[in-house]
Structure 1
Amino acid sequence: MYYIGIDLGTSAVKLLLMKSGGEIVRTVSESYPVNFPQTGWSEQNPEDWFEGSLKGLKKLIEGIDGNEVAGISFGGQMHGLTLLDAEGKVIRPAILWNDGRSQVETDYLNNEIGKANLSKYTGNIAFAGFTAPKVMWVHKNEPENFAKIAKVLLPKDYLAYRLSGVFATDVSDASGTLYFDCENRKWSDEMLKILDMKPEWLPEVYESYEPIGKILPEIAEELGISKECIIAAGAGDNAAAAVGMGIIGNGGCNISLGTSGTIFISSDSFKNDEANSLHAFDHADGGFHLMGCMLSAASCNKWWMDEIIGTSDYAKEQEGLDALGTNKIFFLPYLMGERSPLNNPDCRAMFIGMSMDTTRKDMTLAVMEGVAFALRDSFECAKKMGLDIKSSSICGGGAKSKLWCKIVSNVLGIELTQTENDEGPAMGGALLAAVACGEYASVADACAATVVKHVSVVPDPELVAKYDERYKEFSKIYPACKEAGIW
């Protein structure tokens, strides 16, 4: 049998076809645009997600027996606000995870409703990227659209609806809405009242590995697959990536160097820190996880390469970058503002420390180091909670750079491992589909049978010490800029 994982990303949808036993048969990617109507805004047309996925599915299953496709599941960009009317039609473009327009609403929730109450109701505080502030923004600024709402979905759940006709979500993705009680795995009645949301607007909540229905007959016929194909709930992209990397159970850690950057720590029990600097979410394996998320990670390097120095040869630009731990230039990677742990959508990126002898190589290295330092900000929050992380998996486009992995390993002072495949959320989605279809009894069994890890980087104590000193300097820059009123 075959299982399909669909990774609904910000710039493209990636689809993966997995055979029973974990063999990856092929992957397909279809891109679509992101729109920036105003500075700090980020939107997409949900129809692009569906059309790209349908196109990709047709390519993915070419040459195989469609009747052997047993299940489809997802990993998806989190927090996006997707609004449907009573006819199931999209009301307005989806407001994405990296959209910062709702800072006024975020401040209201944190300061007027209160962080303590938010944490009590949901396990988290408000961030501008979360879904709840976006709901409030639409209510205030687009009352005519708010009045049309019949369903509120997250991005991957819209795709699941188009494929199955079922309104559903999973616990990991719902965790990022700020109207979900993460500790008790249910919608928060208190938050729905605060947001003036009707319970019937929300989809039914499933565990990530549970089936929500079967593929619609007309879609099955168009694709040439069995009408018995199961659609499973799936997970938010980071939880799905963690499954694909085998980060489940208690104490596992994964670092993602994608468009955004994350540190993901799995746990058997629910826990959050007093400052709520890390997100306390439900995991796709039935447990929980802590997560620190920075809004711009590998996208910083892409911006630097594509837009500033104008090259597509990323590998060549990294040749000869040997001043690790001694670079005099700092880069603050806040191109889209920042989430964990700063919670400031208004801060912006900057280079600091340039002189007449500063080179292109110095600045390229500073970009890579700046992302690693910002990841350490969340890592330090986890350490303050008493978590002792000795090693982590690493994935994402940035992890393909051996140099960047070396930098991250030594900035954090931990061993990094990589899996034989680096398919992240798409692989996680395929494994969740296999569990939903009964191929494996649990997510843990699926990971044990399919995920193979190899040590990628072991930190160098001398370089770790150098980066410790550099990080101390880096950590002073943001507070100084904020105190000076720059943001």
Structure 2
Amino acid sequence: MFLGLDLGTSGLKGVLIDERQQVVAEALAPLSVARPHPGWSEQTPADWIAAAEMVLAVLAEKVPLDGVAGIGLSGQMHGAVLLDADHRVLRPAILWNDTRASAEAAALDDDPNFRAITGNIVFPGFTAPKLRWVKAHEPAIFDAVALVLLPKDYLRLWLTGEAVSEPSDAAGTSWLDTGARTWSEPLLAATGLDRSQMPALVEGSAVSGGLRDGVADRFGLRRGTPVAGGAGDNAAAAVGMGVIRPGEAFLSLGTSGVLFAPSPGYRPAPETAVHSFCHALPGTWHQMGVILAATDALNWYAALVGEDAATLTAGLGPLEPPGRAMFLPYLGGERTPHNDAAVRGALVGLAHETDRAAATRAVLEGVAYAVADCRDALARTGTRLERAIAVGGGGRSDYWLKLMATVLAIPIDRPVAGDFGAAFGAARLAMMAATGAGAEIATPPTIADTFHPDNALEDAFAAAHRRYQSLYLALKGLT
């Protein structure tokens, strides 16, 4: 068997697969996010370890874990885990959707070396500006930093005792030479750091270390079980869905929203705010457009009206033309294509006839228009999508997928019931690392449903998308 652990923002998931890549067991431990100030988003790394212990204990109750031959890791990207020389955590981890370092990000982005070497804008959510913020506002902590890890790599440190990362996750730090797949000394120096404070790098399908005796003995695992390099959450999800070759794509409707497309090579276009990152497999890269709030926006609205998100979407019926009400999902700023940490959301065009269903449709439409902005940004790099596989909690809504297909003007495929996301991809990477298997095992899932664009409504939604873009410009002037 092979174990994949995915350290997400809202929970840590574990998936066990067998040699035929069939899911044997899975478990989930919830996580919460602290927001002590506007724009801040933090988690305590000790909670990740507690969640991992819970997941391993639940899995061990379902299946003896002594048959696990490899472990793979995936996780939320960009988080800053700061450790001292004894590997003690110095402060809560600053997460991917934290925007406090917008000024520091802009200052680093003014240095042309960052875009030239990383192939990306320095976004406020990336790791490097977080360290600049800590240096400016918490200098004693900055001076004590001996090691900077990404969230899943802190989990690896607990599992193996090794400080290791891999290129797909490291590409989101603003410290990686993305074309060369190695740390950049000049970019580290520009942040006040050096190579000694960075983890080693291995490829996602390579072995990063062996399981520590204490962890192995506690949960009935084999001592020294190989732990793969793994991947950032989106690259791992791509491996889980077999999206590893140019011409393939996936749409993720999770906490954030992602349009992900493998590249024929390293093809940066930072001016578009498209992310150009290393993929999880050696010698591969990908592009993606990212919005900060997808199901996060729907869950926000559900809490506002005192209902759960699934109930709100279940009663919508067939796809309707775009309504008068319009929602901009910028609850914590936005990435692609705006790179705007200051902008905030809006729900406008309300009228007496705007009932709960109409407002729900407006929220779903707003997220779809934000994803369409990502599609347009990808097109400006030369990447055009022909279809995409849906993943994430939002993909369970027929209405939302039909809407997405119509707004994006491409078919959207939904896999058969099962887990083909980041934890499954991490388990596949574990299988590669432990057995020497290659990309041939990353096959696409069986498709259960395909949602085609509603040709009769495409023009109406295209016109509404243009209104949405105009509304962003008006909103930007107010923030």
Smaller-chain TM-score bracket = over 0.9
User: What amino acid is aligned across from residue 478 of structure 2 in structure 1?
Assistant: I
| Paired residues for 1:52-451 under 5 Å | 52-111=51-110, 113-114=111-112, 117-273=113-269, 275-286=271-282, 287-306=284-303, 308-312=304-308, 314-320=310-316, 322=318, 324-420=320-416, 421-438=418-435, 441-442=437-438, 444-448=439-443, 451=445
Kindly indicate whether the alpha-carbon contact (under 8 Å) linking 1:5 and 1:426 is maintained by their aligned counterparts in 2. yes
3-state SS of 1:462 partner: coil
Kindly indicate whether the alpha-carbon contact (under 8 Å) linking 1:395 and 1:418 is maintained by their aligned counterparts in 2. yes
**CA distance in structure 2 between the partners assigned to 1:326 and 1:342 by the alignment:** 23
**CA distance in structure 2 between the partners assigned to 1:461 and 1:258 by the alignment:** 27
User: What amino acid is aligned across from residue 462 of structure 1 in structure 2?
Assistant: A
User: What amino acid is aligned across from residue 486 of structure 1 in structure 2?
Assistant: L
3-state SS of 2:89 partner: coil
* Identity over aligned pairs, percent: 37
User: What amino acid is aligned across from residue 212 of structure 2 in structure 1?
Assistant: L
**CA distance in structure 2 between the partners assigned to 1:388 and 1:126 by the alignment:** 24
CA apart distance, 1:352: 1.5
Aligned to 1:10: 9
**CA distance in structure 2 between the partners assigned to 1:391 and 1:422 by the alignment:** 20
Deviations 1:194-225 (A, max 9, x none): 11102111001111111111100111000111
Residue 464 of structure 2 corresponds to residue 486 of structure 1 = no
TM-score under structure 2 length normalisation: 0.97
Equivalent of 1:459, from 453, 456, 460?
Answer: 453
3-state SS of 2:321 partner: coil
Deviates more, 1:310-319 or 1:133-142: 310-319
User: What amino acid is aligned across from residue 445 of structure 1 in structure 2?
Assistant: E
Kindly indicate whether the alpha-carbon contact (under 8 Å) linking 2:325 and 2:359 is maintained by their aligned counterparts in 1. yes
Change (3 A) 1:219 1:344: same
- What runs of 5+ residues in structure 2 fail to find an aligned partner? none
User: What amino acid is aligned across from residue 155 of structure 1 in structure 2?
Assistant: P
3-state SS of 1:275 partner: helix
Change (3 A) 1:324 1:158: same
Change (3 A) 1:348 1:274: closer
Kindly indicate whether the alpha-carbon contact (under 8 Å) linking 1:249 and 1:285 is maintained by their aligned counterparts in 2. no
User: What amino acid is aligned across from residue 97 of structure 2 in structure 1?
Assistant: N
Change (3 A) 1:59 1:381: same
CA apart distance, 1:252: 1.4
Deviations 1:378-408 (A, max 9, x none): 1001112222211001100011111111111
3-state SS of 1:354 partner: coil
Kindly indicate whether the alpha-carbon contact (under 8 Å) linking 1:7 and 1:237 is maintained by their aligned counterparts in 2. yes
CA apart distance, 1:75: 1.3
CA apart distance, 1:58: 1.4
Change (3 A) 1:451 1:313: closer
Kindly indicate whether the alpha-carbon contact (under 8 Å) linking 1:121 and 1:190 is maintained by their aligned counterparts in 2. no
3-state SS of 1:26 partner: strand
CA apart distance, 1:33: 2.0
**CA distance in structure 1 between the partners assigned to 2:388 and 2:265 by the alignment:** 19
Q: Superposition RMSD on alpha carbons, in Å?
A: 1.4
Q: Where do 4+ consecutive residues of structure 1 move more than 4 Å?
A: none
Tell me the number of residue pairs that the alignment of Structure 1 and Structure 2 aligns.
Answer: 477
Residue 468 of structure 2 corresponds to residue 471 of structure 1 = no
Kindly indicate whether the alpha-carbon contact (under 8 Å) linking 1:99 and 1:128 is maintained by their aligned counterparts in 2. yes
**CA distance in structure 2 between the partners assigned to 1:23 and 1:322 by the alignment:** 34
Deviations 1:337-395 (A, max 9, x none): 11111111111110111122222211110000100100010100111222221100110
Kindly indicate whether the alpha-carbon contact (under 8 Å) linking 2:120 and 2:270 is maintained by their aligned counterparts in 1. no
**CA distance in structure 1 between the partners assigned to 2:451 and 2:319 by the alignment:** 18
User: What amino acid is aligned across from residue 272 of structure 1 in structure 2?
Assistant: P
User: What amino acid is aligned across from residue 362 of structure 2 in structure 1?
Assistant: A
Kindly indicate whether the alpha-carbon contact (under 8 Å) linking 2:336 and 2:377 is maintained by their aligned counterparts in 1. no
Change (3 A) 1:35 1:274: closer
**CA distance in structure 2 between the partners assigned to 1:79 and 1:376 by the alignment:** 24
Kindly indicate whether the alpha-carbon contact (under 8 Å) linking 1:6 and 1:15 is maintained by their aligned counterparts in 2. yes
| Paired residues for 1:37-56 under 5 Å | 37-56=36-55
Residue 33 of structure 2 corresponds to residue 34 of structure 1 = yes
CA apart distance, 1:274: 5.4
Kindly indicate whether the alpha-carbon contact (under 8 Å) linking 2:319 and 2:402 is maintained by their aligned counterparts in 1. no
User: What amino acid is aligned across from residue 431 of structure 2 in structure 1?
Assistant: A
User: What amino acid is aligned across from residue 60 of structure 2 in structure 1?
Assistant: I
3-state SS of 2:135 partner: helix
Kindly indicate whether the alpha-carbon contact (under 8 Å) linking 2:77 and 2:232 is maintained by their aligned counterparts in 1. yes
**CA distance in structure 1 between the partners assigned to 2:228 and 2:329 by the alignment:** 36
**CA distance in structure 2 between the partners assigned to 1:39 and 1:316 by the alignment:** 28
Change (3 A) 1:323 1:227: closer
User: What amino acid is aligned across from residue 434 of structure 1 in structure 2?
Assistant: M
TM-score under structure 1 length normalisation: 0.95
Deviations 1:442-486 (A, max 9, x none): 1x21113x733344211122222221111111111111222xx31
CA apart distance, 1:321: 5.0
User: What amino acid is aligned across from residue 248 of structure 1 in structure 2?
Assistant: I
- What runs of 5+ residues in structure 1 fail to find an aligned partner? none
**CA distance in structure 2 between the partners assigned to 1:88 and 1:33 by the alignment:** 23
